[in-house]
Amino acid sequence: MARSIVILHPGGLGDLLLAVPAIRGLRKAFPGRQVLLCGQADAAEFLSDCGLVDRWLSVQTTACTALFAGAASDDPWLGDWLRRCDVAVAWTRDDAGTVAAALRASGAVAAIAQSPFDSTLERAHQSDCFVEIVGGQDGQVSVATLSTSEAFRAEAEVCLAAYGLPRERSLAMIHPGSGSPHKCVKPEIIASVIEGLQAHGLEPLLLEGPADYGMVERLLVQLPRRPILLRALPLRVLAGMLSKVELFVGHDSGVTHLSALVGTPTVAMFGPTDPARWAPRGSAVTVLQGKPCECASWDAVKTCGEKPCLDLSPAVIIDACLRTRAVALNPRIC
């Protein structure tokens, strides 16, 4: 059996996508190894479907939670991967070294366990922190990409056809929510942006994620013409859909990182979170932010009524959308 790399990543979609450059770096540093990713089920399965990793396992299984608790794995399937493992990486806090010790006790030749939030890390961007933990060099695969397979695109075509959209229609996907409503511009601003994009010939597709119902409902009442609403899309279908739209507009969220990774022209609106650390990277990404956030804590963000960091006018957002799309369609513009 081939030697392996085992990766444990307990974070959500956005956090996992930020680790893509580090995963690519590990594959480059250890060629020929099979890679097992233990992560949140939907996101880990998606990266397996993309071919970035070879197999995946839900990080919530007892086999994985035992390792996080510092116990050697007694699961036969995971144990086989660890006994063939040249390096195991756990992107989690491990001050006492118990997680790394459990990985070595399970058979890994070498084990690295460290949180990307560790204050001793020198890099500024979260993606670079993942790279730093595994020993990557400055600038190593700093901008990653994910290729959407023909299967992804075919599933997206079926989804679009179900809405009666002709293939030649210019599409823009708008994601009005994020993991927290405190990271989102006001629905009335997004409504004006949607109307502006419609005026420029773009058909809006409104994306609703699991935590976005309230935001979407407040947005819909602002719109004289209801756009197509996409709900509960599997990640592979969403990735295929993103490869077919000419523009994506979103906030600091996992979907925005996904859009940038698949190469979609992306406008990312930031507020209380720091773009220097969290912004998606890519040649077709524009990051917008109001005034720098002055809140001292997330509790302060929650109680901040004015949120000047999210003070973005529809005109500014629409202009960024049109410029980002134009540059992507004709790179010589820049």
DSSP letter (8 states) at residue 17: H
- Same domain? 198 vs 328: yes
- Same domain? 97 vs 228: no
- Same domain? 128 vs 162: no
* 312 in a structural domain: yes
What range defines the domain where residue 172 resides?
A: 150-333
Both structure tokens of 122: 């020198």
- Same domain? 120 vs 205: no
C-beta separation of 60 from 12 below 8 A = no
- Same domain? 325 vs 178: yes
* 139 in a structural domain: no
- Same domain? 177 vs 324: yes
Among 133, 158, 186, which residue terminates a domain? 133
Q: What is the DSSP string of 162-198?
A: HTT--TT--EEEE----S-GGGS--HHHHHHHHHHHH
- CATH number of the domain where residue 106 is located: 3.40.50.2000
- Same domain? 158 vs 125: no
* 140 in a structural domain: no
- Reading the chain (334 residues) residue by residue, the pLDDT tens digits are 899 999 999 999 999 999 999 999 999 999 999 999 999 999 999 999 999 999 999 999 999 999 999 999 889 999 999 999 999 999 999 999 999 999 999 999 999 999 999 999 999 999 999 999 999 754 444 566 888 889 999 999 999 899 888 777 899 999 999 989 899 999 999 999 999 999 999 999 999 988 898 999 999 999 998 899 999 899 999 999 999 999 999 999 999 999 999 999 999 999 999 999 999 998 899 999 999 898 999 999 999 988 899 999 999 999 999 999 998 776 555 4
- Same domain? 154 vs 129: no
* 141 in a structural domain: no
pLDDT at residue 141, as a whole number? 46
* 144 in a structural domain: no
Both structure tokens of 301: 């963000």
Among 79, 103, 133, which residue terminates a domain? 133
Q: Which amino acid is at 167?
A: R
* 280 in a structural domain: yes
* 322 in a structural domain: yes
Handedness of CA 68, 70, 72, 74 (dihedral sign): negative
pLDDT at residue 81, as a whole number? 97
Total count of domains within the chain: 2
* 308 in a structural domain: yes
Number of residues that make up the chain? 334
- Same domain? 175 vs 258: yes
Q: Which helix (H) or strand (E) holds 118?
A: none
Segments in the chain forming alpha helices (H): 13-18, 20-29, 41-49, 62-68, 76-83, 98-105, 126-133, 150-162, 187-199, 213-220, 235-242, 254-261, 275-278, 298-303, 314-329
- Same domain? 122 vs 269: no
Among 133, 163, 188, which residue terminates a domain? 133
Cβ neighbors of 334 (< 8 A, separation 6 or more) are: 327
- Same domain? 109 vs 199: no
- Same domain? 206 vs 74: no
CB half-sphere exposure, 258, CA atoms < 13 A: 25
**How far apart are alpha carbons 287 and 269 in whole angstroms?**
6
